[in-house]
Amino acid sequence: MTDDFTWEQDKLYFLPLGGCGVFGANLTLYGYNGKWLMVDCGMGFPDDTMPSIDLLVPDISFLKAQKDRIVGCVLTHAHEDHIGGLEYLWPDLKCPLYATPFAAKMITDKFSEYPWKDQVRLHTVPMGGEIKNLAPFHVSMINVAHSIPEAQSLVITAGNLPPVLHTGDWKMDLTPCVGEVTDEAAFAALGQSEDGVLAIIGDSTNAMLDGHSRSEEIVYKNLVKLFAEYPDSRIFVTCFASNVARIHSVARAAAENGRHAGLSGRSLWRSYEVSKSCGYMQDVPPFLEDREVMALPREKSVLVLTGSQGESRASVAKVARGEHPCIKPEKGDVLFFSALRIPGNEATIDRALTRFWEMDVEIVSNKTVPDTPVHVSGHPYRDELTQLYSWVKPKIAVPVHGEAMQMDHHAELARDCGVPHVMAGQTGSIYTLCPENGVRVIDEVQCGLLAVEGERMVPVDHESLNVRRRITFNGAVVVSLLMDGHGSLKVPPQISALGIVDETSGEGQDILAKAAEAVAKAVENLPKELRLCRDDGAAHEVSEKARIAARKFFHNYCGKRPQTRVHLFV
Ligand SMILES: [Zn+2]
Ligand SMILES: [Zn+2]
C-alpha cells in the first residue's frame, strides 16, 4: 500500500479506483510523467447488506493527496455509475471536467444546487471530438451506441506510446433510436494505425452472454405491438430515467396507438428537459404531467414512472405503497417493466411489482414476453467484444466494468482473440502498460467504497454502519444507572429497548420493569467496593455487569442479542 509512489519517466500507469469487482462507482486514472488523467467519477449502489445507505462513492484518499497532479476528468457518458460521484467528490479535487453536451448539461443540472458551482470548469466537447489541453495526455473520442445518448470511447495517448482504447460503456447497434451509431470505422482505423494499439480497457458487463446484443429499435417495435394488446387499460411503463431512447420509444409507441404520454418523477423530467435542450425528442408531442395523464380516459394514456429499481422515494414505490398523490392504478391496468434488474435490487423490485399485481395490474417484462423483449441491454455481448478485438488488435487487454466472473470471462475471450497480455482489472491496483512487457501490477493504493450520508462519507465497513446493521437485526437496549455514592442504586435502572418492546404499551412497560429488576439485582450482587465506583476500573465492571444482565434478559425474552449500552452516573 502506498500514499505516494515513485514515477518512472515515460511509463504509462493505469489505476482503477472503482468499477472492478462490483457494479458501479467507475473511476479510472491514467498516469504519465507525474500527471493523472481521470476518466469518470461514478456512484455505487448499496445492496441488501447495507440497510439505510442511499448511495456509495469510491474512496479517493489516494487521489486527494495527489490532486495537484490531475490534469482533468473526462466523462464518457451521463450514467450515474460514471458521473454520479462528481457532486460528492469534485469539491475535494477541483479538477477541470470534460464532457459531451448531454453529459455536460446533466452535470450542470446536478451541480446547480451547490454553493461551489461557479468554481467548476466544465468544458463541453463535441461528440467524437478531441481534447488537447490535457498534457501530457491527448484524448480523442469515438461515438458509441449505449443506453444513453452521446456515449464515448476514449483514445488516450501519452508521449510516444501507442494509444490506449478506454471503451467506456458501449454496444453495437445500427438502429439505436436516439443518438449516434458506434463508429466502427474509427475502431478499425485504430487497429490499422502504424504503431497499433497498446491496450483496451474494456466493458465486461455482458461478457458472459453469447451472441449479439439486441437493438433498441426492437423494443420500440415491441412496444407498439404490445400497447395494442391492452386497448382498455391505462398503460404504465417504468424504465431508467436516463434511457432517452426508451422514453422516446414509449412516446412514439403511445402516439401510434392514439395515446398521450406523460412522465412522473423528477429524474425523468430532468432527463427529458436536458434531452430536448440537446436537440433530442423533437419529433414527439410534449409529455404531460402525471395528473394530466390520470385525468385522461384510461385507453388514451401512457405514463412513464421513475423507480424501476424499486427506489423508495420514486414513483413506482410510491404508487405500490398507495402513497402517490394522484396515481392510483385500477383493475386491468398494465405495468411495463422496461429495465434491467441491477444485481442486489431484485428483492426490492419484486416487492414493488407484487404490490401492483395485488392491485390487479398486469406486469409485462422480458420474463413474461421473452419473444417480444421490452428491454435490451446497452452493453456488448461476446460477438461484439470479439469483433472489437479483431478490429483493434491490442497488445494488452484489461477487462473492467463488471463483477469478477464477468471480467474473467472477458479476459478469457480476449486471450481467445489472440491478445498477448491479458489481466482483469482490480480496484486499487496500479498497473503499468508497456508495449514490451505487457501489463503488470506494481503497487496498491487505499481503495473501497464510502457511504454518503448528509455531509459525511464513511467507509462501508465503518463501525457505525456495522452497529446500525446489527441494530436492524437485533434492536438496541440503553441502560442508565444512577448510583448514590454509598454503593447502592439511587433509583431503579432506566431502560429503553428500541425495536424490541412497544414502550407505549402496558405490556412493554412491564417487560422494561422486569428488565430493570434483573439489572438492579445483578448490580447489587457485586461486592460493595466495586459498587462504590471509586475508580474507572470499578465503574467499568459495574457497567459491564449491567450490560450483560440486560442483554441476557432480552435474549431470554425474545431470542435476540440487542446492541446494549450502559450509561453510569456516580
Ligand atoms: Zn452506461
Ligand atoms: Zn456503466
CA-based end-to-end distance of the chain:
47
- 29, with CB counted inside 10 A (0-12, 13-18, 19+), is buried
pLDDT at 24 over 60: yes
Mean pLDDT of 261-287: 96
CA of 394 to the centre of ligand 1 (A): 23
Compute, in angstroms, the gap from residue 410 CA to the centroid of ligand 1: 18
CATH code, 299: 3.40.50.10710
304 CA to centre of ligand 1 in angstroms: 21
Q: What value does the mean pLDDT take over residues 554-561?
A: 95
For the segment 308-332, the average pLDDT, to the nearest whole number, is 95
Classify residue 484: in a domain, yes or no.
yes
Q: Tell whether 359 is covered by a domain.
A: yes
Q: How close is the Cα of 40 to the center of ligand 1, in Å? A: 11
| Average pLDDT of span 299-314 | 95
Show the domain range for 225.
216-364
CA of 43 to the centre of ligand 1 (A): 12
Q: Is residue 470 part of a domain?
A: no
Contact 180, 143 (CB under 8 A): yes
Cα–Cα distance, 115 to 171 (Å, whole number):
38
Residue 155, in any domain of the structure? yes
Which residues are within 5 Å of ligand 1 (an ion), measured at CB? Answer: 79, 169
**Among all ligands shown, which has an atom nearest to the Cα of 145?**
1
pLDDT at 2: 57
Rounded to the nearest angstrom, the distance between the alpha carbon of 206 and the centre of ligand 2 is: 12
Q: Residue 125 C-alpha to ligand 1 middle, in angstroms?
A: 18
Question: In this structure, which ligand is nearest to the CA of 79?
Answer: 1
Q: 83: CA distance to ligand 1 center in Å?
A: 10
Whether the per-residue pLDDT at 50 is higher than 70: the answer is yes
Q: What ligand has the least distance to the C-alpha of 24? A: 2
Averaged pLDDT, 19-29 = 95
Q: Are residues 128 and 184 in the same domain?
A: yes
CA 423 to CA 204: how far, in whole Å?
Answer: 13
Positive or negative torsion for Cα 535, 537, 541, 546: positive
Instruction: Inform me whether the pLDDT recorded for 5 exceeds 90.
Output: no
Q: Is the pLDDT of residue 263 over 70?
A: yes
Domain boundary (364, 390, 408) is at 364
Quote the ligand 1 centre to 81 CA distance (angstroms). Answer: 7
The counts of H helices and E strands in the chain are: 17, 29
Please indicate, yes or no, whether residues 207 and 238 belong to a single structural domain of this protein.
Answer: no
Ligand 1 centre distance from Cα of residue 79 (Å): 5
| CA-CA-CA-CA torsion sign (412, 415, 419, 423) | positive
CA of 143 to the centre of ligand 1 (A): 13
Measure the CA–CA gap between 143 and 149, rounded to whole angstroms. Answer: 10
pLDDT at 51: 72
Model confidence at 58, in pLDDT bands (50, 70, 90)?
Answer: very high
What is residue 75's three-state secondary structure? coil
- Report CA Rg, the chain: 28
Cβ neighbours for 457, distance < 8 A, ≥ 6 positions apart: 57, 88, 450, 451
Does position 568 have pLDDT exceeding 80, yes or no? yes
Give residue 235's pLDDT. Answer: 98
Say if 7 falls within a structural domain: no
In the chain, the number of structural domains is 3
Residues 158 and 266 occupy one common structural domain: no
Query: How many A from CA of 78 to the centre of ligand 2?
Result: 9
Q: What is the mean pLDDT of residues 336-364?
A: 94
User: How high is the pLDDT of residue 342?
Assistant: 85
Would 202 be classed as within a structural domain? yes
Q: What is the CATH number of the domain that holds 47?
A: 3.60.15.10
Centroid of ligand 2 to alpha carbon of 21 (angstroms): 13
Find the 32 Cα to ligand 1 centroid distance in Å. Answer: 27
Q: pLDDT at residue 46 above 90? A: no
Q: What is the pLDDT of residue 241?
A: 94
pLDDT digits (tens, 9 = 90+) for 428-451: 999 999 999 999 999 999 999 999
The Å distance, Cα 358 to ligand 1 centre, comes to 33
| Domain CATH for 491 | 3.10.20.580
Q: How far is the CA of 132 from the centre of ligand 1 (A)?
A: 25
**Residue 399 CA to ligand 2 centre (angstroms):** 13
- From the CA of 103, which ligand is nearest? 1
Same domain, 178 and 121: yes
Domain match, 181 and 237 both? no
Residues 504 and 406 in one domain: no
pLDDT level of residue 344 (50, 70, 90 thresholds): confident
Decide if pLDDT at 266 tops 70.
yes
Residue 123 and residue 64 in one domain: yes
Taking the centre of ligand 1 as the mean of its atom positions, its distance from the CA of residue 149, in whole angstroms, is 10
- Please report the pLDDT score of residue 77 as a whole number: 98
Report yes or no: 461 and 468 within 8 Å, Cβ to Cβ. no
Report the percent of the chain where pLDDT is more than 90.
Answer: 94
Q: Give 175's pLDDT tier (boundaries 50, 70, 90).
A: very high
The string of pLDDT tens digits covering residues 501-555 is 999 999 999 999 999 999 999 999 999 999 999 999 999 999 999 999 999 999 9
From the CA of 338, how far away is ligand 2's center (Å)?
Answer: 18
421 CA to middle of ligand 2, Å? Answer: 24
Regarding whether 45 and 140 lie in a shared domain, the answer is yes
Q: In the predicted model, what is the mean pLDDT of the chain?
A: 96
pLDDT band at 49 (very low <50, low <70, confident <90, very high): confident
Q: Would you place residue 1 in the very low, low, confident or very high pLDDT band (cuts 50, 70, 90)?
A: low
For ligand 2, the distance from its centroid to the CA atom of residue 26, given in whole angstroms, is: 7
Q: Is residue 467 part of a domain?
A: no
Residue 6 resides in a domain: no
What's the 81 CA to ligand 2 centre distance in angstroms? 5
Per-residue pLDDT, 4? 66
Q: How far is the CA of 147 from the centre of ligand 1 (A)?
A: 7
Give the distance (Å) from ligand 1 centre to CA of residue 545.
Answer: 55
**537 Cα to the center of ligand 1, angstroms:** 57
Does residue 157 share a domain with residue 27? Answer: yes
Q: Indicate if 342 and 401 belong to the same structural domain.
A: no
Report the separation in Å between the CA atom of 403 and the middle of ligand 2, taken as the mean of its atom positions: 12
| For range 265-270, the mean pLDDT | 96
Alpha-carbon distance 492 to 514, whole Å?
11
Helix axes 184-192, 382-392, angle to 10 degrees: 40
Kindly list the distances between the CA atom of residue 544 and the CA atoms of 486, 496, 497, 526, in Å, as whole numbers in the listed order. Answer: 19, 17, 17, 11
Give the DSSP H/E element, type plus range, for residue 463: helix 463-474
Question: What pLDDT does 400 receive?
Answer: 98
In this structure, the answer to whether residues 451 and 512 fall within a common structural domain is: no
CA of 100 to the centre of ligand 2 (A): 16
Q: What are phi and psi of 462, to 5 degrees?
A: -60, 145
Based on the domain organization, do 489 and 452 belong to the same domain?
no
Give the number of the ligand closest to the Cα of residue 43: 2
Cα(76) to ligand 1 centroid in Å equals 9
The residues, any chain, with a CB within 8 Å of residue 559's CB and separated by 6 or more, are: none
Residue 306, SS3 per DSSP:
coil
